[in-house]
Chains A and B, each alone.
Chain A
Amino acid sequence: MHDIALEAIAGALERREFSSVEITSHLLERIERANGTLNAFITIDREGALRSAAAADAARAGGATGPLLGVPIAHKDLFCTAGLRTTCGSRMLGEFVPPYSATVVERMAAAGCVTLGKTNMDEFAMGSSNETSWFGPVRNPWDTARVPGGSSGGSAAAVAARLAPGATATDTGGSIRQPASLCGLTGLKATYGRVSRHGMIAFASSLDQAGPIARSAADCALMLQAIAGFDPRDSTSIEAPVPDYVSQLDRPLAGLRIGVPKEYFDPGLHPGTEAAVRQGLAELEAQGAKLVDVSLPHSPLSVPAYYVIAPAECSANLSRYDGVRYGYRCKDPVDLRDLYERSRSEGFGEEVKRRIIVGTYALSAGYYDAYYRKAQQIRRLIAEDFRQAFEVADVIAGPSAPATAFRFGEKSSDPITMYLEDIYTIAANLAGLPAMSMPGGLVDGLPVGIQLIGNHLQEGLLLNVAHRFQQATDWHRRSPGFTA
């Protein structure tokens, strides 16, 4: 039952092959067995899941239908869930129970989804390996000695290990695409503003964007359909109609111009990964797409620009965690300063503190122009690179990550090496563009992801390209064969 794809579950429920309660219980048991090894979930909501599964079964029995009605999924633990602990992977919010739900959570629930639990993640979404979580690292089901990627590592590991058919995630600099790539999954980060950030705990507000991680483009289309759309509670949310993503999946690729940026095939790219990506591009070409060379000349500046802007925004976003109103508070503070200092030193982990310090520095009087303003200028140049590239290409394609999943500890001692994990993904965040990763091969038994970047609001086209690719390949059907 756990091998069934998300897009096929509604049909099976409709045909009464199994009930939502049955598949939900099955997955809960699987999660409970596997979590000791994988640590993909921070919170398992057995009671809530079974209650909503029963409600979905009753609704279906009463004639209700829907492609997600009764479909179990998991939420990354930075989406607030009313009444259910939401930790953001941090000790700071270790016991935090929000009184409201994120728009993404509300919309998935409205579509009939069952929430199995909350997935593990790098603390406050800061990390590319899931090693910064207060709740411990997540293991990659393809090789438990390796990382699942991050920050949405729990969502990716859960879907890869067939603990959930799909999961929500967020992507500030690659946090959906890189773990999807490392775990052999399809993941999509929407256009900035396409999915509401209301109730999504902020890391870097101008870059954060939600999206699904699942096995296929068809799965992702269903999930995106449910969560996309204007939300008056998020001022940066885009007021534009949401197209029918599913109906666009099958369009032929003939004549499609796929831009291949030369900067994405640099010496930092692993040869095996490069070979897999090039083979994937050849497959798209075989389907009638045309490969065109494009240049994104400012790409090399995306990592430094990102590591000024994201920390600057996070330094302010995380100021609210002061031990005063909610969240972690140190024991017996002697005065206000002590309360602040110890609550924050004890409540935050090393990577979070590093970024707060970097961001605070970058915004300081006398440094603002040299760092923050300069980084914003680079950001505009990067957006301009894409604008020009999209004059000759409909979609841009390249690798999602420099290599396959790495071992625990391999990069965690050197932040810069870790930051370079996101070298191909960050630019789409800086430009606010939709981007996805789809499985494109295996190297030494480990998955490789191909990244697709689209123009503003072109999620439908990205899903279309990925779906056509997945009609001709079976990389997305490969399972790590993880035994729970």
Chain B
Amino acid sequence: MLSDWETVIGLEVHVQLATRSKIFSGAATRFGAEPNTQACAVDLAMPGTLPVLNREAVRMAVKFGLAIGAEIASVSVFDRKNYFYPDLPKGYQISQLDHPVVGCGSVTVELPDGSSKCIGVTRAHLEEDAGKSLHEDFHGLTGIDLNRAGTPLLEIVSEPEIRSAQEAVAYLRQIHSIIRYLGISDGNMAEGSMRCDVNLSLRRHGQSEFGTRCEIKNVNSFRFVEKAIECERERQADILEGGGKIKQETRLYDAERNETRSMRSKEVAHDYRYFPEPDLLPVHVSEEFIASVRAELPELPAQKVQRFRTQFGLGAYDAAQLAASRELADYFEETAGATGDAKTAANWVLSELLARLNRDGFDVSASPVPAASLGALIARIHDNTISGKIAKTVFEAMWAGEGEPDAIIDARGLRQVADSGAIAQLVDAALAANAGQVEQYRATPADKRQRMFGFFVGQVMKASQGKANPQQVNDLLRERLDGE
């Protein structure tokens, strides 16, 4: 049974750092340029060219390290990782093996059941990205695009402390959220700015040693990570249940067929022949430098979650969802500030706003309804201008670009009727029109009248086209029906 097995997962996340130029050359790093227009002599590994470290990449790596409470190495060293591939121009990748710039740290994730978990980060090191091999459009040949070659990468390696697909996705989302908060990467998985390798093994519950793991390379969306993990653990469980052994190997996730398949086994794995990169000096990071980077740190997701909980009384999961992106959190805070009611603001942002953003594929920064307008709408619920139900109609109109809430309420005549005389007329008319039901109601014992009471409320609201103040309608009906 699958449930007999504990899933052990470690993630390697590659994040492209948003420096303007490459990690070892002056070429630009913009995504999507014409092939080979952003590759200079250094990126092409022309003879005699030398790498020069872009200090901005180090600053970004240190920023990440501080954000996850990690040790920052005072001295880190670049190494050469040797292998031949057409999109690796030098025949080696400059990376960091024994002395990464960022050491041990941790990331805390909030899970849907309200619990939280701290996941260890073993290390994060700087390296250069490779180019791209293009296999289409070349009639059986392979095209090489070196625009990406030399783009700075931060490889973030987790401890094998992740136990489910859900935790893995929560961890990834948290990393995504941190790098975006820090402004060190756009984290765009579709464009490859953030990529993930999954290491997974199974062991029987209670067993202390790890099983043999497989590495699933380049799983490039949150959803695929979840699905790849699910199908890989099923695959491994099937083998183990059948008395078989897991072969240590690198696998690929095929999203179309929802399966992982073998890429290369450990026996033919590369010997990368790492050795210290003689063209670069060790990187020294001073205490002053660290202090200056620390001073630049914004409020981070975990701190924001904590503040939202204490300042606004939000639940952990809601707070985490709102804090997942800096833009969404800012939107929420602006809305809450405009209304003075954070809980209602949180509900609106997490339900109505997010649903529409997702439906229409907008980023929160491009929301057709600005936070101030949503705040104004919520304020109209509070001052009884409209009911919560009417507010949803108004919001839909705002989304469609019909303007500010007050204008829509007026234009559509949605203002709530709060004039007691007018409401009394409506109530009396409804009771008169339904005299039979009134008699029936009065004949019913008091404790069984509630459903019938609702019928009268409905009649009055219908007659008012939803605009009557529901509280006033209730009060008047009680008075007329239960009065005596």
Contact = CB atoms under 8 A, between A and B. Distances in A.
Interface of A: 78-80, 86, 88, 93, 96, 98-100, 102, 197-202, 204-206, 232-236, 312-313, 315-316, 318-320, 322, 324-326, 336, 340, 360, 363-365, 368, 372
B139 to A, nearest CB: 15
A197 B41 CA distance: 15
B267 to A, nearest CB: 13
Query: Interface size class for chain B?
Result: 20 to 34
Contacts of A336: 86, 142
B11 to A, nearest CB: 25
A202 B275 CA distance: 16
A71 B140 CA distance: 54
Contacts of A198: 48-50
Interface in B5-55: 41, 44-53
Given A98-B46, A235-B51, 10 more contacts: A80-B47, A99-B46, A197-B48, A233-B50, A316-B91, A319-B91, A319-B92, A320-B89, A325-B45, A360-B273
| 6 A-B pairs with the lowest CB-CB distances in the bound complex, closest first | A319-B91, A206-B278, A363-B273, A205-B278, A320-B45, A199-B48
B279 A364 contact: no
B47 A93 contact: yes
Nearest to A373: B275
A204 B89 CA distance: 18
A336 B87 CA distance: 12
A324 B52 contact: no
A340 B52 contact: no
B82 interface: yes
A235 B280 contact: yes
A234 B50 contact: yes
A316 B82 contact: yes
B48 A201 contact: yes
Nearest to B273: A363
B90 interface: yes
B287 interface: no
A80 B49 CA distance: 10
A235 B281 contact: yes
B147 to A, nearest CB: 14
A340 B84 contact: yes
Contacts of B90: 316, 319-320
B195 interface: no
A78 B48 CA distance: 8
Given A198-B50, A320-B47, A363 B275 contact: yes
Contact of B48 (A200, A324, A325): A200
Contacts of A320: 45, 47, 89-91
A39 to B, nearest CB: 22
B48 A316 contact: no
Contacts of A319: 82, 84, 90-92
A80 B144 CA distance: 25
Interface of B: 41, 44-53, 80, 82, 84, 86, 89-92, 142, 144, 271, 273-275, 278-281
Contact of A236 (B45, B46, B47, B281): B281
A80 B48 CA distance: 7
Nearest to B269: A365
A281 B51 CA distance: 43
Contacts of A102: 48
B128 to A, nearest CB: 14
A324 B86 contact: yes
Nearest to B146: A325
B279 A100 contact: no
Contact of A98 (B45, B48, B53, B279): B48
Contacts of B47: 80, 86, 88, 93, 96, 98, 201-202, 320
A368 B271 CA distance: 11
A372 B48 contact: no
The listed residue with most B CB atoms (<10 A of its CB), out of A202, A324, A340, A363, is A324
28 contacts: A80-B48, A96-B47, A98-B48, A99-B46, A100-B48, A100-B49, A199-B49, A202-B48, A234-B52, A235-B50, A235-B51, A235-B53, A235-B279, A235-B280, A316-B80, A316-B82, A316-B90, A316-B91, A316-B273, A319-B90, A320-B90, A325-B44, A325-B45, A326-B46, A363-B275, A364-B271, A368-B273, A368-B275
A325 B275 contact: no
A235 B91 contact: no
B89 A325 contact: yes
Contacts of A368: 273, 275
A235 B52 contact: yes
A316 B275 contact: yes
Nearest to A86: B47
Contacts of A236: 278-281
Contacts of A78: 48
A310 to B, nearest CB: 11
A65 to B, nearest CB: 31
A315 B51 CA distance: 18
A312 B275 CA distance: 9
Nearest to A208: B278
A232 B90 CA distance: 21
A70 B46 CA distance: 30
Contact of A313 (B49, B52, B278): B278
Contacts of A99: 41, 46
A357 to B, nearest CB: 13
A257 to B, nearest CB: 32
A200 B47 CA distance: 8
Contacts of A204: 278
Nearest to A366: B271
Contact of B144 (A202, A234, A324): A324
Nearest to A80: B48
B103 to A, nearest CB: 23
A102 B90 CA distance: 19
Contacts of B45: 320, 325
A155 B142 CA distance: 42
A232 B53 CA distance: 10
A364 B50 contact: no
A205 B50 CA distance: 10
Contacts of B44: 325-326
Nearest to A312: B275
Q: For B44, B49, B51, which residue has the most chain A Cβ atoms within 10 angstroms? A: B49
B152 to A, nearest CB: 16
In this complex, the member of A100, A200, A201, A316 whose beta carbon has the largest number of chain B beta carbons within 10 angstroms is: A316
B404 to A, nearest CB: 56
Contacts of A315: 82, 273
A236 B282 CA distance: 10
A365 B270 CA distance: 10
Contact of B92 (A201, A316, A340): A316
B47 to A, nearest CB: 4
Nearest to A337: B84
Given A322-B91, A324-B86, A205 B48 contact: no
A98 B41 CA distance: 9
A233 B48 contact: no
